[in-house]
Amino acid sequence: MKLTCHSISLSPARISRAPDVMENCTVFTEFIFVGLSNRQDVQLGLFVFFLFVYSTTVIANIGMILLIKTDTRLHTPMYYFLSNLSLCDVCVSSPVSPKMLAHFLSEIKRIPYTVCPIQMFVFCMFGDVEILVLAVMAYDHYVAICNPLLYTVAISRTLCTVLVFLTYIMGLVDSAVHTCLAFWLSFCKSNIINHFYCDLPPMFALATSDTFINEMMLFILGTIIFGVSVFTVLLSYSYIIVTVLRMKSAEGRRKAFSTCASHLCTVAIFHGTLLYMYLRPSSSYSMDTDKITSVIYMVIIPMINPLIYSLRNKDVKGALKKTISTKLCPQ
d(CA 170, CA 85): 15
Best CA proximity match to 269, nearest among 40, 89, 148, 72: 89
Higher pLDDT, residue 208 or 6: 208
Work out the pLDDT band at 94, boundaries 50, 70, 90: very high
pLDDT at residue 311 tops 90: no
Report d(CA 262, CA 308) in Å as an integer: 6
How large is the average pLDDT for residues 282-295?
75
Query: Per-residue pLDDT averaged across 298-312, rounded?
Result: 86
Q: How far is the C-alpha of 22 from the C-alpha of 92, rounded, in Å?
A: 35
- The phi-psi region of residue 186 (left if phi > 0; otherwise alpha if psi is between -120 and 50; otherwise beta) is beta
pLDDT above 50 for 17: no
Closest CA to 61 of 312, 302, 322, 323: 302
Task: Tell me the pLDDT band of 7, cut-offs 50, 70 and 90.
Answer: very low
pLDDT for the residue numbered 107: 85
What pLDDT shows up at residue 156? 93
How confident is the model over 76-103, as a mean pLDDT?
Answer: 95
pLDDT for res 72: 86
Nearest CA-CA partner of 135 in 218, 61, 57, 235: 235
Q: Are 199 and 294 in contact (CB under 8 A)?
A: yes
pLDDT, average across residues 76-98:
95
Strand order of the sheet with strand 30-33?
Answer: 109-112, 30-33, 192-193
Range scoring the smallest mean pLDDT among 29-33, 110-114, 236-240, 289-293: 289-293
Task: Please enumerate in sequence order all residues whose Cβ is within 8 A of that of 255, keeping only pairs 6 or more positions apart, or say none.
Answer: none
pLDDT in tens, 45-61: 999 999 999 999 999 99
What's the pLDDT at 2?
A: 43
Is 197 a residue whose pLDDT tops 90? yes
- Ordered DSSP codes for 59-94: HHHHHHHHHHHH-GGG-SHHHHHHHHHHHHHHHHHT
Cβ pair 151, 143 in contact under 8 A: yes
Mean predicted confidence (pLDDT) in 267-285: 72
Cα separation, 206 vs 94, in Å, equals 24
Mean per-residue pLDDT over the chain, rounded: 85
Q: Which residue from 93, 116, 297, 99 is spatially nearest to 192, judged by alpha carbons?
A: 116
Indicate if the pLDDT at residue 71 is higher than 80: yes
Q: Which stretches within 183-286 are classed as H helix?
A: 200-206, 212-246, 250-278
- Is the CB of residue 60 less than 8 Å from the CB of residue 310? yes
Average pLDDT over residues 197-224: 91
pLDDT band at 283 (very low <50, low <70, confident <90, very high): low
Phi first, then psi: give them for residue 192, nearest 5 degrees: -95, 115
Share of the chain above pLDDT 70, in %: 88
pLDDT for 229 beyond 70:
yes
Indicate the pLDDT class of residue 4, thresholds 50, 70 and 90. Answer: very low
> Sorting pLDDT into bands at 50, 70 and 90, what band is 116?
very high
Average pLDDT over residues 26-45: 86
Contact 281, 7 (CB under 8 A): no
Give 133-165 pLDDT, tens digit per residue.
999 999 999 999 999 888 988 999 999 999 999
- Give the model's pLDDT for residue 279: 59
Give SS3 for 113.
coil
User: 3-class SS at 118?
Assistant: helix
Flag whether pLDDT at 331 surpasses 80.
no
- Spell out the domains of the chain, with CATH numbers in brackets: 29-328 (1.20.1070.10)
H/E element holding 112?
Answer: strand 109-112
Give residue 20's pLDDT. Answer: 43
> What is the model's pLDDT at position 189?
85
